[in-house]
């Protein structure tokens, strides 16, 4: 598959990440089929894409897009509750949440990929937006390990520029290159990440949560400073846009 062959992108999940990915892709000129469980979830996702803080309406008001560009982009968006509607997609990215109290749910992702593998065309590339699960574990649920990788976007997906492209020993080099080119067309800067066992996270989250966040929590636990003062110190001292606790350092488990 070449980058020119990717014309329709499937997005599994219409939450914060799935909606942001879908919005990015339609603005970039791709047809998108976004699937979630209910029409209510899908309607909320579309409203956020249009009227949310980082929505298309605001983009028009700021001169980032014209109304015509937005209308054309929305015409490329299909919302559905039927996973079968993704059968002809060229590239499918999973961005499903974990349910109440969980950021992500590994068994759920494995189940979804197993079902999707039976429906999608054989040449389609699969990707997971997981922020920390081992990609090989998810790919094992399919018969397309050579066309399965991770593409971890950061939130909000239509604003943040980084995409971590996580490769396994089984994925073809040409597939990695196609996905890197796709990231570029979607306005992202990609970095290559070797997949590792143990659900360690990739680059950014692994370093943040196992290094910066852990030390920030230690500073607070030792009574050195409050979480608020730690955030102020890191923002003003190192010019961070947000402090570690604002980024979720207070959570002893889970990932951003």
Residues marked as catalytic: 131, 152, 164, 205
Strands 125-128 and 31-35: unpaired
Question: Are the beta carbons of 245 and 230 closer than 8 angstroms?
Answer: yes
Question: Are the beta carbons of 38 and 8 closer than 8 angstroms?
Answer: no
**Helices and strands of the chain, counted as H and E runs:** 10, 8
What lies within 8 Å, CB to CB, of 215 at 6+ separation is none
Q: Is 140 helix (H, G, I), strand (E, B) or coil?
A: coil
Element (H, E) at 236: helix 227-238
Nearest-angstrom CA–CA distance, 55 and 58: 6
Q: What angle do CA 22, 28, 20 make, to 5 degrees?
A: 25
Q: Is 78 helix (H, G, I), strand (E, B) or coil?
A: strand
């Amino acid at each position: 598959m070449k980058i020119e062959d990717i014309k329709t992108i499937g997005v599994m999940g219409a939450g914060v990440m799935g909606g942001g990915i879908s919005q990015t892709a339609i603005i970039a000129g791709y047809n998108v089929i976004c699937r979630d469980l209910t029409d209510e979830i899908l309607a909320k996702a579309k409203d956020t894409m249009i009227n949310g803080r980082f929505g298309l309406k605001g983009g028009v008001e700021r001169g980032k897009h014209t109304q015509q560009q937005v209308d054309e982009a929305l015409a490329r968006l299909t919302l559905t509750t039927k996973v079968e509607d993704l059968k002809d997609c060229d590239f499918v990215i999973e961005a499903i949440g974990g349910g109440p109290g969980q950021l992500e749910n590994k068994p759920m992702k494995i189940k979804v990929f197993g079902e999707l593998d039976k429906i999608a065309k054989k040449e389609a590339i699969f990707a997971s937006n997981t922020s920390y699960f081992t990609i090989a574990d998810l790919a094992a649920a399919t018969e397309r390990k050579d066309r399965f990788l991770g593409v971890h976007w950061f939130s909000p997906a239509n604003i943040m520029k980084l995409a971590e492209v996580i490769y396994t020993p089984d994925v073809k080099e040409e597939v990695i290159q196609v996905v890197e080119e796709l990231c570029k067309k979607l306005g992202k800067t990609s970095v290559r990440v070797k997949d590792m066992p143990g659900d360690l996270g990739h680059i950014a989250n692994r370093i943040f949560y196992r290094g910066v966040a852990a030390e920030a929590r230690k500073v607070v636990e030792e009574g050195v400073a409050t979480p608020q003062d730690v955030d102020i110190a890191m923002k003003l001292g190192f010019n961070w846009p947000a402090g570690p606790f604002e980024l979720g350092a207070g959570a002893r488990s889970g990932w951003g």
